[in-house]
Chain A
Amino acid sequence: GENVEQHPSTLSVQEGDSAVIKCTYSDSASNYFPWYKQELGKRPQLIIDIRSNVGEKKDQRIAVTLNKTAKHFSLHITETQPEDSAVYFCAASFSGSARQLTFGSGTQLTVLP
């Protein structure tokens, strides 16, 4: 089945700096890659997603890049703010009998004021 690896597991940055989280996936047929943000005690919420027909997508301070050849995708957060502190999960769609999401293990991002 699909395997998604996420790095780093923890990341601390100063407010205003950029943060980058990387994920690799194993199933070359995967075609949908969302990123979820989960604040402490709250539900995971989608912040951005990308499909395999594009290489980059941006939404204000957040961007995602996809390299299909290398089978990796990354989340970029610029001008980080304390409210960006959360756990971020990447995921990839799994081409089994039903297309499901396989999640990475998460990155705890801490933005220091």
Chain B
Amino acid sequence: ETGVTQTPRHLVMGMTNKKSLKCEQHLGHNAMYWYKQSAKKPLELMFVYSLEERVENNSVPSRFSPECPNSSHLFLHLHTLQPEDSALYLCASSPGLVNIQYFGAGTRLSVL
């Protein structure tokens, strides 16, 4: 374990559902990230939070909504997703914005 825990590990949802992904880190880091990993594509950075403030939003559709209530927790709220949103969603944390990033095990999302 890397100290970054993601729940759930697997999620199946319909296009009209609303669900949330959760990430928790026990490393005392102050930066957290959401990535999308699709088959045969590079890891795509979605959101970056530093000290609980959103630093970057890489033009992610509004159907993905992040929330960072404190430096240890990060959520990704999902609503009205599309089948092409099916992917592995990875959370990561780091002690600073340039430093080593530690990944969670990911949530495998399937949108039907």
Contact at A104–B42, with CB atoms within 8 Å? yes
Q: A98-B55, A98-B97 are in contact. Are A43 and B48 (CB under 8 A)?
A: no
- Report Cα–Cα, A98/B43, bound state, in Å: 17
- Report Cα–Cα, A34/B41, bound state, in Å: 18
Enumerate A80-111 residues with CB–CB distance to B below 8 Å: 89, 93, 96-106
How would you classify the secondary structure of chain A's contact residues: helix, strand, loop or mixed? strand
0 or 1 for each of B6-46: is its CB under 8 Å from A? (1 = yes): 00000000000000000000000000010000001111010
**Distance (Å) between the CB of A90 and the closest chain B CB?**
10
**Distance (Å) between the CB of A41 and the closest chain B CB?**
9
Q: A43-B2, A44-B90, A96-B56 are in contact. Are A105 and B41 (CB under 8 A)?
A: yes
Please tell me if A46 contacts chain B, counting CB pairs below 8 Å: yes
Contact at A97–B55, with CB atoms within 8 Å? yes
Please tell me if B74 contacts chain A, counting CB pairs below 8 Å: no
Q: How large is the interface on A (under 10, 10 to 19, 20 to 34, 35 or more residues)?
A: 20 to 34
Contact at A93–B43, with CB atoms within 8 Å? no
- Report Cα–Cα, A34/B43, bound state, in Å: 14
Q: How large is the interface on B (under 10, 10 to 19, 20 to 34, 35 or more residues)?
A: 20 to 34
Contact at B43–A103, with CB atoms within 8 Å? yes
**Distance (Å) between the CB of A27 and the closest chain B CB?**
13
Contact at A103–B105, with CB atoms within 8 Å? no
- Provide the residues of chain A in CB contact with B50, threshold 8 Å: 98
Contact at B103–A44, with CB atoms within 8 Å? yes
User: Which residues in B have some Cβ–Cβ distance to A below 8 Å?
Assistant: 2, 33, 40-43, 45, 48, 50, 55-56, 90, 97-98, 100-106
6 A-B pairs whose Cβ atoms sit less than 8 Å apart in the complex: A34-B100, A46-B102, A89-B43, A97-B56, A105-B42, A106-B42
